Amino acid sequence: MAFDFVQGEVLLIDKPLEWTSFDVVNFIRSFLRKKYNLKKLKVGHAGTLDPLATGLLIICTGKMTKQIDTYQGMDKVYVGQMKLGATTPSFDKETEEDRHFNLETISEETLLKTAQKFLGEIEQVPPIYSAIKIDGKRAYEHARKKEHREIKPRKVTIHQFNLLNIDLPLVDFYVKSSKGTYIRALARDFGEALNNGAYLTALRRTQIGDFAVNNAYTLERFKEAVINETESNE
């Protein structure tokens, strides 16, 4: 295939673990500018993935960056795992466990019924360890400095929330949700609804709209595709 990154491309990238979404954008921008000897190139992503999450990231280049809002508005699909009986300040493995709870009274039936309570439109408070801007700073910057900041709830929609495998304290799940949904916050709220605790131990985004991670490039495969395409045109 012939790429035209200035006119614009929509790239499906499988984000690696421990990379931020901005890391991926910067990597692609830097690589393409060097490869094509460009002084400037617009590159942006359509929906943040946390560093400890992997999976589908839509990257737009050139004139297609004008379409980012369209892709951001699409529903998202995730598979992941959460640990019950404990919490962390970040609602994932970025921070250490700070509270612990007894799981003896938690049954599989209770878990399944509780998951159903989250279907439809709900109010969700985003994590303080997130990229939301508060007073000109990212929320996680305040959190890491132990600065308390209030984050207002927002309305999101959970289309599906299925518990795939229950092996306490670990629960595997599937979620289809609207834009703006924080799966870490869903795990936190799920734990609270059980009068218990929960946090994410793994998360992978598998779909955005009709775009699937199975059709995405790893960063290494993307580089190879660009190099092979340019060499075939020489």
Tokens of 201: 């131990």
Active site residue 92: no
DSSP for 71-86, written as a single string: HHTS-EEEEEEEEESE
Beta bridge partners of 224: none
CB atoms inside a 10 Å sphere around CB 215: 9
The gap between the terminal CA atoms of the chain, to the nearest Å, is 14
Sign of CA dihedral 128, 90, 59, 226: positive
Q: Is the peptide bond before 51 cis (omega within 30 degrees of 0)?
A: no
Q: Which amino acid is at 25?
A: V
- Catalytic residue from among 4, 14, 23, 50: 50
Strand positions, DSSP E, 72-136: 76-84, 86-87, 99-100, 120-124, 133-134
Tokens of 199: 């946090």
Annotated catalytic sites, by residue?
50
